[in-house]
A and B are shown apart, each in its own frame.
Chain A
């Protein structure tokens, strides 16, 4: 079943065409990868999908419903969860409080007020952060902040999870843990879209990959196909070590 479809989406920032006539669709249960050089518009696509930035033109359909004009919190209630490329914890709240926000507000059928704490602790246990639940974000390390991002998104009980560069700034060992976590999440039936520069992760996780450049879709296919594509190699030419990894 098709869970998400984006048609001909456009977004300009001043003169910059951040997203320029992009269309793709996502099947329920798959892990889709989006790759592309810096500034290709990947994060902007996520912003359009979760509603933080309105599209200039185009249409977004989620679970058969047109959500193009829907506010971010309603999209969240429908089941779109996301993480941010730059971790955005709520600095005034503890780790548990951060997850509780998502637990209380993240779904159209809220968690029973008396069970919020227990529910949030369960989610934290899932991402292996239980021991740090009473710390404040300022006391966490980068990998833990990334886990907190995932925990918060999970606590909204999403059907579609948008992960923006989870591995950036992590050591290979830490990457592996998150990689397994994402696999587990997907196994539970949550569809995942993944923006990633670390190619190894894309290769291991994604059934299908979309390559973006200058806001457009350069090509689409399985990992081997797209990384062999000449246009993709050209787009990455002069880019840093990403392909080599």
Chain B
């Protein structure tokens, strides 16, 4: 492989995974932007969906990607219930309580998965899992291409909903001016519910994808929470639209570091944390004090 090809391959790999990052992060950004709630258990829903996909695939042989709408709806309801039962009681209780609560839920779900499924790594072996197509000597994993396309479709859908529908306008109104929105009669309660439902729904779709192109294990969710945080921080906290660029940046940087740095895959694990630290420190001058 000559240098140009290597470069192209690294770029393509980076772009291909960024779709799943964007899906995972957009939910996180939505919940943060609208509900002003940082859900540290976000990734665990992704993990749960990954296992869900694995079970359904192994018992009924259904392709997870075909089940996307069903899973989305199921997890939307789960997200809404999550909001009602756990998020709402701490929403007014301050950031410390929110962080500790969602972190507690995250630990709980991780270890529940560990108890039920054990620590072994699992995957879904759809027939096209290892299939690739090549252009100009650069390999595109078919499964990854599918997944990227599906991510793009879903994100476009989300943006259309946010821009053009009544619900979407209410969501944006609440995120920009909670008090103003309340004055014009928007019921912030149901907006929060919907936002968290969508967030968890998107996480679940990302989880299904995860079990196809990566693997599922109990800790994978938290890893995605962290990567999602990196994306959200770079995009500007709560900014759903910046998520795409930040995800591309994260995916491509990771991929390049993995390919070009000696022992690079190890370091690429640190890069998103440096992005978080860097992103926050650069942005902190803009964080309002009072």
Complex: A in contact with B (CB within 8 Å): yes
- A residues near B, CB below 8 A? 47, 52-53
Cα-based distance from A47 to B288 in the complex (angstroms): 13
Please tell me if B287 contacts chain A, counting CB pairs below 8 Å: no
A147 to chain B, nearest CB (A): 22
Q: Which residues of B contact A47 (CB under 8 A)?
A: 290
Which chain A residue lies CB-closest to B285? Answer: A54
What chain B residues lie within 8 Å of A52 (beta carbons)? 289-290
Distance between A150 CB and nearest chain B CB, rounded to angstroms: 20
Closest B-chain residue to A47, C-beta based?
A: B290
Which partner residue on chain B sits nearest A72 by CB separation? Answer: B289
Q: What is the CB-to-nearest-CB distance from B96 to chain A, in angstroms, rounded to a whole number?
A: 13
In Å, the complex CA distance between A52 and B289 comes to: 8
Interface contact tally, CB-CB below 8 A: 5
What's the Cα separation between A53 and B289 when bound, in Å? Answer: 8
**Which residues 235-290 of B have a CB within 8 angstroms of A?**
289-290
By a beta-carbon cutoff of 8 Å, the part of chain B in contact with chain A is 289-290
CB neighbours of B290 from chain A (8 A): 47, 52-53
How far, in Å, is A69 (CB) from chain B's closest CB? 15
Kindly state the separation between the CA atoms of A9 and B290 in the bound complex, as whole angstroms. 20
Q: How far does the alpha carbon of A47 sit from the alpha carbon of B290 in the complex, in Å?
A: 10
Distance from A241 Cβ to chain B, minimum over Cβ atoms (Å): 21
- A88's nearest neighbour on chain B, judged by CB, is B290
Residues of A near B289 (CB, < 8 A) are: 52-53
- A-B pairs with lowest CB-CB distance, top 3: A52-B290, A52-B289, A47-B290
Cα A53 to Cα B290 in complex, Å, equals 9
* Docked complex Cα distance between A8 and B178 (Å): 35
Shortest distance between the CB of A19 and any CB in chain B (Å): 16
Smallest beta-carbon distance A158→chain B, Å: 20
Expressed in whole angstroms, the minimum distance between the Cβ of B16 and any Cβ of chain A is: 37
Closest Cβ–Cβ distance, residue B121 to chain A (whole Å)? 47
Docked pose: A153 CA to B105 CA in angstroms: 43
Minimum C-beta distance from A237 to chain B (A): 24
5 A/B residue pairs, CB under 8 Å, sorted by A: A47-B290, A52-B289, A52-B290, A53-B289, A53-B290
CB distance from B141 to the nearest CB of A (A): 44
A157 and B55 alpha carbons, distance in the complex (Å): 70
- A47 and B289 CA atoms in complex are apart in Å by 11
Tell me the bound Cα distance from A52 to B290 in angstroms.
8
Contacts of A53 in B (CB 8 A): 289-290
A31 nearest CB across to chain B (Å) = 26
A53 to B285, CA, bound (A): 11
- B161 smallest CB distance to A (angstroms): 27
B264 CB to closest chain A CB, in angstroms?
A: 41
A191 CB → nearest B CB, Å = 24
Separation of A53 and B286 alpha carbons in the complex (Å): 12
For A13, the closest partner residue in chain B by CB is B288
Min CB distance, B95 to chain A, in Å?
A: 16
Closest-CB distance, B89 to chain A (whole angstroms): 20
Q: How near does chain A come to B135, taking the closest CB pair, in angstroms? A: 45
Shortest Cβ distance from A62 into chain B, in angstroms?
Answer: 21
Give the complex CA separation of A20 and B289 in angstroms.
Answer: 21
**Residue of B with least CB distance to A84:** B290
CB distance from B92 to the nearest CB of A (A): 14
Question: Shortest beta-carbon distance, A33 to chain B, in Å?
Answer: 24
A205 CA / B252 CA spacing, docked (Å): 65
Nearest CB of chain B from residue A83's CB, rounded to whole Å = 14
Give the residue name and chain of the A residue nearest to B289 (CB): A52
Q: Shortest CB–CB separation between residue B177 and chain A, in angstroms?
A: 14
B181 to chain A, nearest CB (A): 19
In the assembled complex, the CB of A78 is this many whole angstroms from the nearest CB of chain B, namely 21
Q: Tell me, rounded to whole Å, the shortest Cβ–Cβ distance linking A52 to chain B.
A: 6
Specify the chain A residue showing the minimal Cβ separation from B290: A52
Complex CA distance for A181 and B290, rounded to whole angstroms: 28
Instruction: Report the separation of the CA atoms of residues A118 and B206 in the bound assembly, to the nearest whole angstrom.
Output: 63
A213 to chain B minimum Cβ distance, whole angstroms, is 23
- Nearest CB of chain B from residue A76's CB, rounded to whole Å: 15
A95 to B75, CA, bound (A): 49
Q: How far is the CA of A52 from the CA of B288 in the complex (A)?
A: 11
